[in-house]
Each structure stands twice: as structure tokens, then as C-alpha cells.
Amino acid sequence: MIEVFDVVLVFLRTDIFVPFGLLTVPFLIGRKISKLKERFLNIDEVACRFIIFSGLAYIGIILLYWIYLFLFISDSHPEYAATTRATGPYAWAYWVFPFSWLFLTQSFRFKLVRKNILIRIILIPFFLFTFNQYVILTINIHRDYLPPGKSSFNLKSILDVIPFWSLHVFLKLALFIGYVFLFQWIYQKIKKNKVVS
């Protein structure tokens, strides 16, 4: 059961939050093109509503995960260490990460955040990198932490990976757009059924 929670949380972070951060710049540029302005504004509005919903889903899943841990995990279970971390003297530091996603995504409820280009550009890095990812990236790049024989910078190995990385990013962005359109379709169906009822 714990693995299911982990998979869903990773999906929300990597397939919803990160592509939203990546698509923010094209959405903001598209607003300035007169022929595409209306279409980009509509897609951006739906994407913002979707990210608000995703933030609520993320924190809901986190809370369900912790309720499950507190109710069903015994002292001998490997996940017991996580419960002691979340309730110990430094619990505030443990809870900052999940609730930062909540505050970050819910900030898009405000029209000032949705419409202001400068604020959106400031928020982009927070969608793309977590503090943990930043630390891992920094440590991996640092020369002292590279495995033996890898101490020199190898440009060829980086260039070999770029086509796969760009395809990966393109697919993530395409899937995110698909999720946004699916969200809009479901939202319209629910809205239509409320009016009919």
C-alpha cells in the first residue's frame, strides 16, 4: 500500500508539477502573440486550475499516507523511522516540503499570480527543482564525488544523452497538455450536469 502512495506522489511531482513549470514560459510568450493570445490564455487558465487541483490532491494523498502509517505501521516495520521523523523534534523541517507544494500550487488561485509574468517566472524554479534534487545535482557535478576514472569532464557522454533527454521532456510536456485537456473535459461535463440537474 505504501508503494501506491509513493508512485502517485512521484507522478504528481514529476509529471504534473515539473511540466507545468516548463510550460509556463511558452504560455507567457504565447500571450503576447496576437493571433494565439486567446487560445494561450484559455489553456493557461485551465492549466492553472489543474495545478491548483493537483496541489490539493498531493496534500490529500500525503495526509492519507500519514494516517495509514500512524494507524497500521508497527515498530518493527521499515517505515516506522519515517513516523518518528515526522513527529520528532525536527518535525517542522520534515513537513515543510509537502506543504510548500500546497502553498506553491494554491498561490495560483490569486489573479495577481496567474497574470503577473514576473511572479510566474520567479515561481518556475520551485516547480522544476526541489531542494533534495538541487543537493543531489550539486554533489554529482562536484569532482570529488565522481566515481574513479570519471574525474575528467566528458562532453561526449553528455551529448549522447541529449536526444533522449529532449524526447523525454517533449513527451512529458505533451502528456501534461493531454492531462490539462482531459481535466477541462471532465470539468465541463461536471459543470454541464450541475446545470441540467
Q: What is the pLDDT of residue 56?
A: 94
How far apart, in whole angstroms, are the C-alpha atoms of residue 51 and residue 13?
11
Q: What is the pLDDT along the chain (197 residues), one digit of tens a residue?
A: 778 888 888 888 888 998 998 888 888 888 888 888 888 888 889 999 999 999 999 999 988 988 887 787 766 666 666 677 777 787 777 788 888 888 999 999 999 999 888 999 898 888 887 767 777 777 766 655 555 555 555 556 656 666 677 788 888 889 999 999 999 999 999 988 876 65
Q: Which domain range does residue 100 map to?
A: 2-196
User: 74 by DSSP, 3-state: which?
Assistant: coil
Q: What is the pLDDT of residue 88?
A: 78
Q: What is the pLDDT of residue 184?
A: 93
Contacts of 30 (CB under 8 A, 6+ apart): 36, 37, 39, 40, 44
Inter-residue contact 141 to 88 (CB < 8 Å): no
Q: What is the pLDDT of residue 26?
A: 86
**For residue 177, which of 3, 26, 13 has the smallest C-alpha distance?**
26
Q: What is the pLDDT of residue 149?
A: 56
Q: What is the pLDDT of residue 147?
A: 56
Q: What is the pLDDT of residue 126?
A: 86
Predicted structure pTM score:
0.78
Identify the sign of the CA torsion 78, 62, 99, 180: positive
Q: What is the count of structural domains for the chain? A: 1
Identify the sign of the CA torsion 172, 177, 182, 183: positive
